[in-house]
Amino acid sequence: EGRKKAGESCSLPESSWEERLANAVTPLWRLPYQEQLQVKCESQRKILQTLASRLEELGIDAQKPGGLCCPLQPVVPSPIINGYRNKSTFSVNRGPDGNPKTVGLYVGTGRERNIVCVKANHVENIPSKHKQVAQCYEEFISRSPLDSCIFFHEGGHWRELVVRTTSCGHTMAIITFHPQELSREALATQKALLKEFFTCGPGAVCALTSLYFQESTMTRCSHEQSPFQLLHGAPHIFEELLGLKFRISPDAFFQVNTAGAEVLYQAVGKLCQATGDSVLLDICCGTGTIGLSLAHRVSKVIGVEVVEKAVEDAEWNAAFNGISNCEFHTGKAEAVLPQLLASWEDARPLVAVVNPSRAGLHYRVVRAIRNCRSIRRLLYISCKPEGEAMRNFLELCCPPDPRKKLAGEPFAPVLAIPFDMFPHTEHCELVLLFTR
């Protein structure tokens, strides 16, 4: 099923809630896959044209053929087109039929107050295992006397569900719960009922590897703010990538398309041109996947990551795979990196790979990279290059500016390669190579 052509099984009733959800979540679902790639290539072309014109405004001659800032390679296709997601987040809210305990994905916006939660059974990028767990969770909360928590101030308890799966056949479910004014005894009862449902009741069909519970009074909570409580099974699930085994915690970052990530990381390895005496700086390293997959090519890997549990995973992953030339630092990159690079006196070539969230890199991170003369080659991996990443691109390439403490020689974009990590959506992972 994972390799069928996009559009082959597309038959949803016009203007149905299912069609509206498919259009919102997977807007390219109707197009054959080759056409999806063409659409994405065109959008990446426009981004590179925008970057070229923005650089021109800074007095940098960046225009290349086609008005681009650098050559653009064709979009690299995903090895799997349907059901590729290894992580899905399902909301709990009112469905089209008014059921306040519907588990699905949102159609509509909070601003317009027209949000409806629609079951995602037909959405093509979500695997059947995720849909099965969502269906079972809906069955569980439909039996519960406790309400769903739609607005925090209106009470209610049952909130979102995150499902993570791996190619090793592991499944992790994380259920978010608003405790409101419940006593510890009442909370313990709910956790026991949840565990019983997924181990002995109808939910046992999901064969969960891990069942987690998180009490959360905020929209999103880190493990440090509110610990993930293991109700059943193993504390971690495991994934295999490029011959290595990776441990994944509930909130650790891992590329959402595992097969696509293998293709991406292999390309990153080639683009780095790292040699045996190079040091690889892996910024926003998550569970260490990029650094560890390239560790055999370089003399040393230095990873920086804000999520403490992800760094614990990265260190475990290095040890388990017998990789001894990696070190990982916990903390915000803007706090860790300037200190790390300010005292850098290593004669070995330093290659940087950055893979930030959509918020991009903090200015202090860009400044630290610019001001470190040892970094001559930088790979920026962005899932939203038209957003905050664009600001970073300009900061990397602009002339030195003493007022902004930007003394280092500017970088220049030399190659762009988009990777389709998200078939059926409009998104791409753009790898932009900068050198100086």
Catalytic machinery residues: 383
Contacts of 302 (CB under 8 A, 6+ apart): 279, 280, 281, 282, 291, 326, 327, 328, 329, 340
Residue 334, marked binder: no
Is 154 a known ligand-binding residue? no
Give φ, ψ of 172 to 5 degrees: -115, 130
Contact yes or no for 12/19 (Cβ under 8 A): yes
Half-sphere exposure of 177 (CA within 13 A, CB side): 24
Positions of E strands within 154-276: 158-165, 171-177, 210-215, 229-233, 237-241, 244-248
Cα–Cα distance, 180 to 308 (Å, whole number): 27
> Residue 355, annotated ligand binder?
yes
Interatomic CA distance for residues 265 and 291, integer angstroms? 9
Tell which residue, 191, 166, 198, 188, has the closest CA to residue 176: 191
In single-letter form, the type of residue at position 128 comes to S
**230/250 Cα distance (integer angstroms):** 10
Q: Which residues of 372-393 are buried (b: 16+ CB within 10 A; e: fewer)?
A: bebbebbbbbbbbbeeebbebb
Structure tokens at 323: 């990789």
Are the C-beta atoms of residues 295 and 289 closer than 8 Å to each other?
no
316 token code pair = 């475990």
Binding residues for S-adenosyl-L-methionine: 255, 305, 355
Binding residues: 255, 305, 355
